[in-house]
Amino acid sequence: MPRKIRFGPAGYPLEARGNVKKVFKILSDAGMDAFEYAAVYGLRTKEEKAKLIGNLSKEAGIAMSMHAAYYINLASNTSRIRKASKQRLVKALKFAPLMNVKRIVFHAGTHGNRSRDEAHVIIRDALREVWEKAGASGEGAYLAPEIAGKLSTYGSKEQIIKLCQEVDGCIPTIDWAHIYARNQGKVNDKESYLKIITQFEDGLGDLFVKNMHFHVSGITFTEKGEKAHRPLGQEWGPDILPLMEIVRECGYKPHYICESTNPLEGALYTKFLYEELEKVSK
C-alpha cells in the first residue's frame, strides 16, 4: 500500500457485533483506511477467519495492525510467563500475513524485581529470539513495542527507542495519551510534541519516519501515570491538534489509531481535525 496518512479505530465497531464483513463495510463507509485488530485477550482467531480478515482488508484498502495480548510480560519473574509471552508474539508474526497485518503492537511488560537496565536486556534478548524464530514468517510485519502509560512499567520513550535500535524488526508505537500521562499533562503543545518526534527521528531515522504508528485517545492520570482512557476532543487531554499541525508541516505519514472509549468516533474526530487543517492551508 502507498504511504499516506491513515486513520482508524482499535477494535471492532460495536455496531458490527462481531460480524467481520460488517466490520469492514462500516469502516469503509466511515472513510477509515486503517484498523487495529484487537487480540488483547489472546489471538484466538482460526486460520480461516484470519484469511477472511486479510482478504476483506485488502479489498477495502485498509492498512492492518494488531494489538497483541495485554498479558505479555517478557521480563516476568516467572519463566513460564516469559516463555508464553514469546510464543504469543511468534504466533502473531505467523498470523500476520494471513490477516494483512504489518504492525504487531504490544506492551513489553513490567520490570519485575529487576533494575531498568536488567529488564531491558531480558526484554531485548527475548525479542531477538522471537525475531530469529519467526521474523521471516511475518512477511514484512514489524514488532511494534508501545510507550507504556504507567511510570512503573517498561516502556518509556528512551527504552522503546533503545529497544528498536537493538532489535531487528522493531518499530515504535507512540501512544500520545500514554506520553501525556507519563509527563503529568505537560506534553500538550507543538514544542513538546516536536521535541519527542525529533528524539525518535534522531534515534531511529528512516525506520521511524517511514513507519510512524500513533495511538491517540483522551486520558486521565495520577502521579503514577495512566488511569483510564477517555473520549477525544472533550475536557480530557491531550490536545492532538498541535501534533497534527506538526505532522502536516513536516510531511510525515503516520497511521493514527484511536483507542478512546469510542474508537471509531475518535478516529473520525482525528480525521476531521486533519481535514480542517488541510482546508485552512489551501
Q: What confidence tens digit (pLDDT) does each residue in 29-79 have?
A: 999 999 999 999 999 999 999 999 999 999 999 999 999 999 999 999 999
Please give the Cα distance from 105 to 173 (Å, whole number): 7
Question: Which among 208, 211, 258, 255 is positioned nearest to 230, based on CA atoms?
Answer: 258
Angle, helices 241-250 vs 190-204, to 10°: value is 50
Please give the Cα distance from 203 to 171 (Å, whole number): 11
SS3 content of the chain, % helix, strand, coil (to 5): 50, 20, 35
Q: The CATH number of the domain where 135 resides is what?
A: 3.20.20.150
Number of domains in the chain: 1
Q: Residue 184 sits in which domain range?
A: 6-281
Cell 504487531: give the residue. Answer: 104
What is the average pLDDT value for the chain, to the nearest integer?
95
Q: Is residue 149 part of a domain?
A: yes
Q: What confidence tens digit (pLDDT) does each residue in 169-217 have?
A: 999 999 999 999 999 999 999 999 999 999 999 999 999 999 999 999 9
Q: Is residue 1 part of a domain?
A: no
Please give the Cα distance from 129 to 127 (Å, whole number): 5
Assign 243 to helix, strand or coil.
helix
The rounded percent of the chain whose pLDDT value lies above 70 is 99
> Which triple of cell numbers denotes residue 204?
531511529
Task: Place 2 in a pLDDT band, splitting at 50, 70 and 90.
Answer: low
Q: Is residue 54 part of a domain?
A: yes
Please state the pTM of the whole predicted model.
0.96
Count of C-beta atoms within a 10 Å radius of residue 137? 15
